[in-house]
Structures are given as C-alpha cells and as structure tokens.
Amino acid sequence: MNAVYILWKREIIRYFRSRARIVGSLGQPLLFLIALGFGLGPVFQRAGQGNYFEFLGPGVVSMGILFTGIFAGIQIIWDRQFGFLKETLVAPVSRFEIMLGKALGGATVAFMQGVFVFVLTLLLGVRISSLAFLPIALVSMFLIALFFTALGIAIASLFEDMQGFQLVMNFVVQPTFFLSGALFPLSGVPKFLQLIASFDPLSYGVDAVRGAVTGQSHFGMGIDITVLVVLTFTVLAIGSYLFSKIEI
C-alpha cells in the first residue's frame, strides 16, 4: 500500500502548491452564499421556512466538494496526454492501488476544499445546532468527496481528450447539483422532483451535512450515511475496473 500513500501525498502537494487554485475555488461558493443567501433569504423567511442562509450553507459546502472532486478526473486525462500516466502504470504496483491512491488524494483535496467553504459559512453566520453532530458532518463531507472523485476518475478512464470529458461532466455535474435539494427544500416540491432527487447521490450528501449542521433532515441521517457508503464503495469498484482497462 506504499504506492497508495505516495500517490495520495502527491495529490495533496499539488493542491497546496497552487495558491491560485485554492483561492479561485472559493469564488463560486462565496458567490452562491452572498447572492442567494442574502438575496433570497427574506423571501425564504416570509414563506415560513426559517433562515435560508443556514439552509443554504450545507448545500454550498457540498457543491464545493462536488466540483473539486469530480474534476479530479481531468488530472487523469492530463497525465495520459503528456505521458505521465504511462510512467505510473508501468510501475510494479497494481492498477487498483494506483486508482485508490489517486482517488484518496483527490478526495482529500475535495474534502479540504469543503472544510474551507464550511468555515466560510460559519464566518458568514451559519450556526451548528449541536457540536456533537460535527463529526457526522465531516464524515459525510469526506464520503461525498470520495464518491465524486472516484466517479470523476471512472469517467476519465473512458476518454482520451479533455473535450469529451468536459461535455460529460457538464451533463452530469449541473443536474446533480441543482436537483439535489442544495438550494431548495425537497419537502415542498412536486412528487416527480422528489423522485428525481431520491436517485441523485448528492441529495443524500447534502441532506446528511444539513442534518448534522442544522438538525433538518429530509431522508434521515442514518439513511443518508448508509446510501453514501454503499454508493462510494460501488463507484470505487467500478472506477477500479475501468481504470484497469486503460490502454497505454
């Protein structure tokens, strides 16, 4: 498992070497928090739904993790085009270890990005209902990160160029985020939208983080964590298989 540790460490070093990447990745979550949190907050409150900013915060945290995690797949294509992936794949280690190391590295980066956004929401006014549930929020955030990082690697394993990967990502990422209940309560939407959200993996991640932070949970935190764990291991298995089929 030494290869897993080395690849994990390399992804972390890459992240902290790019200060522009760290600062830039906070721009979109900050925009959502300010524009929607303060802009739609009064409307949400008049509708009798409480503090919209506290409702929105966990959704924006999950959004930051989603985008950072799933686009970790771009690094696979980048390494493939410039020959770095070939050097890695010919090493005397299994491709499963290589994929796992990259997935854990990308997930750790996405998780740290989520923590930064989470701290930002706290500075802007979000309050944790109970500190006892904070570990559940952090575990949920890491599961979201690992799931979408593994999904990004799995999809990237099928493509050899950036264009194809980005088209699929735009088709996957935007609906996944906007239909997850990150921006609106799932309890008050039409049945067909609730049905769609129930098949959206991010819905359970958002709900778990929101339940741990605010005490408001749509599916129930037990269901959320169970679904996240099952989906994460499933995608890791699929991603490992697809990664093992990459031709060099």
d(CA 16, CA 5): 17
d(CA 103, CA 36): 32
pLDDT at 1 (0 to 100): 59
Nearest to 117 by CA among 182, 172, 72: 182
The torsion of the CA quartet 60, 63, 64, 65, rounded to 10 degrees, works out to: 130
Identify the weakest region by mean pLDDT among 65-74, 87-96, 143-152: 87-96
Tallying the residues shown for the chain, one arrives at 248
| 68: confidence class by pLDDT, cuts 50, 70, 90 | confident
Mean pLDDT within 59-67: 91
This prediction's pTM: 0.90
pLDDT, one tens digit per residue, over 144-182 is: 999 999 999 998 888 877 777 777 777 888 899 999 999
pLDDT, one tens digit per residue, over 198-241 is: 999 999 999 999 999 988 888 999 999 999 999 999 999 999 89
Q: What do you get for the CA distance between the two ends of the chain, in Å?
A: 23
Residue 134 makes CB contacts below 8 A (sequence gap 6+) with: 128, 212
Question: Which backbone phi and psi does 103 adopt, to 5 degrees?
Answer: -65, -45
| 187: confidence class by pLDDT, cuts 50, 70, 90 | confident
